[in-house]
């Protein structure tokens, strides 16, 4: 014991400025009670902001019959909330499982994969496949293909031995470009009529969400959340990295595989509803982590979802009602998210 006490003093006196930092954080700690409730405070504030955005979204500028306005806007609201939820949860979980804070499923090109699958269907089976088959059944089939493909890729990338983050970023960017180029190639070879139909289904955005898939998307999100909820206790352990997770007895391969499937499903849902958004997930996940201040998933996950709702619902309200813009939200969100991405990359390389 005495030896350790001595060695502790050794550390403090060894680097003098660590003593200052020590005092600093300790005085911060004396208000430690407040610090403890910081995540709770953040969550309450975010919850209120999210509710306000939702209320404004539903009521601002409402003219004519309320029942029409509410059901019309309600559908839109539901899709925005579903997207916010899917993107936030999938990004946070993906970052936890891969033990990084820069990569997200969309940066790894996974929404591009969804577009590719959709394009390939039209390319190989003709536009009639897209039009004649019920869009919900289509969606479920696409979901299976997407989960299958992304699972193979994820498996190869994340379940073997550990790989460097640089390799992953590189692989992700290369795959993203590959998927996008393949889709573009096929789209160019389609006849113009088929291309128009395809473009229609792909050009969902925050302002014009695809309402036909709302029901099935809701069911899928609820089911995935249920599975995700049951794995809740493993998330914090997984964020310690592969070696620590295995050391602490997590069935690593199985758990990570299940989580990656959940991520793939959520990415598909959000891409189906509003199309690809590259940096939105990164934006909400990064903000959630820095607002909450620690890495406990029981705080970070809800915070990310609430931030997503605020950004999408609040942002859409602001742009649609206040500035009377229609499609600019994705641009603004991508712009902010892109900035965050650059800052993260620069900070990482500075270290």
Partner 1 sequence: MIITSDISKSYGESTVVDGVSLSLPKGGITSIIGPNGAGKSTLLSMVSRLMAMDKGSVTVDGLDVSKTPGDVLARRLSILRQDNHMTARLTVHDLVSFGRYPYSKGRLNADDKVHIDEAIGYLDLTALSGRFLDELSGGQRQRAFVAMVLCQDTDYVLLDEPLNNLDMKHAMGMMKLLQRAASELGKTVVLVLHDINFASWYSDHIVAMKHGKVAAQGPVGEMIKPDVLSSIYEMDIAVHEIAGQRISVYYG
What residue ranges bind partner 1 (CB under 8 A)?
1, 3-8, 10-11, 14-15, 18, 21, 25, 29, 32, 95, 99-101, 161, 233, 236-237, 239-244, 246-252, 289, 293-296
Per-residue DSSP letters for 209-265?
A: --GGGHHHHHHHHHHHHHHHHHTHHHHHHHTT-HHHHHHTT--HHHHHHHHHHHHHH
113, two tokens? 């994969």
**Identity of the residue, 75 or 296, whose beta carbon is nearer to partner 1 in the bound complex:** 296
**Identity of the residue, 29 or 200, whose beta carbon is nearer to partner 1 in the bound complex:** 29
Least distance between partner 1 and beta carbon 226 (Å)? 18
Residue 46: its H or E element? helix 38-59
Q: Which residues contact 56 (CB under 8 A, 6 or more apart)?
A: 314, 317, 321
Least distance between partner 1 and beta carbon 228 (Å)? 15
**Identity of the residue, 239 or 317, whose beta carbon is nearer to partner 1 in the bound complex:** 239
Cα of 60 vs its chain's centroid, Å:
28
**Identity of the residue, 29 or 326, whose beta carbon is nearer to partner 1 in the bound complex:** 29
d(CA 284, CA 334): 11
Least distance between partner 1 and beta carbon 17 (Å)? 11
**Is there a contact between 274 and 85 (Cβ–Cβ < 8 Å)?**
no
**Identity of the residue, 23 or 196, whose beta carbon is nearer to partner 1 in the bound complex:** 23
**Identity of the residue, 163 or 296, whose beta carbon is nearer to partner 1 in the bound complex:** 296
190, two tokens? 């389609």
Q: Which residues contact 241 (CB under 8 A, 6 or more apart)?
A: 99
């Amino acid at each position: 014991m005495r030896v350790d006490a001595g060695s502790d003093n050794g550390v403090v006196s060894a680097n003098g400025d660590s003593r200052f930092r020590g005092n600093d954080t300790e005085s911060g700690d004396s208000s430690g009670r407040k610090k403890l409730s910081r995540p709770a405070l953040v969550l309450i504030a975010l919850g209120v902001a999210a509710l306000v955005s939702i209320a404004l979204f539903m009521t601002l500028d409402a003219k004519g019959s309320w029942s029409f306005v509410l059901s019309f806007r309600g559908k839109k609201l539901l899709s925005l909330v579903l997207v916010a939820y899917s993107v936030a949860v999938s990004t946070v979980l993906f970052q936890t499982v891969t033990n990084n804070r820069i990569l997200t499923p969309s940066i790894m090109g996974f929404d591009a994969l969804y577009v590719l699958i959709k394009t390939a269907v039209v390319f190989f089976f003709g536009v009639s496949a897209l039009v004649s088959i019920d869009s919900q059944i289509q969606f479920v089939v696409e979901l299976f293909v997407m989960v299958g493909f992304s699972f193979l890729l994820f498996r190869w990338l994340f379940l073997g031995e550990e790989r460097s983050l640089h390799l992953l970023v590189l692989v992700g960017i290369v795959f993203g470009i590959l998927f996008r180029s393949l889709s573009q190639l096929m789209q160019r070879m389609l006849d113009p009529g088929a291309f128009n139909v395809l473009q229609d289904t792909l050009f969902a955005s925050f302002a014009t969400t695809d309402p036909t898939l709302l029901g099935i998307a809701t069911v899928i999100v609820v089911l995935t959340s249920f599975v995700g909820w049951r794995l809740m206790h493993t998330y914090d352990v997984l964020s310690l990295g592969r070696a620590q997770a295995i050391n602490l007895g997590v069935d690593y391969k199985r758990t990570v595989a299940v989580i990656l499937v959940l991520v793939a499903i959520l990415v598909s849902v959000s891409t189906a509803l509003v199309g690809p958004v590259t940096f939105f997930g990164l934006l909400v996940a990064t903000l959630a982590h820095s607002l909450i201040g620690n890495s406990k998933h029981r705080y970070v996950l809800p915070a990310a979802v609430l931030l997503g709702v605020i950004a999408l619902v609040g942002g859409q309200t602001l742009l649609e009602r206040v500035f009377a813009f229609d499609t600019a939200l994705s641009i603004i969100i991508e712009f902010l998210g892109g900035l965050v991405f650059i800052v993260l990359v620069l900070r990482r390389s500075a270290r």
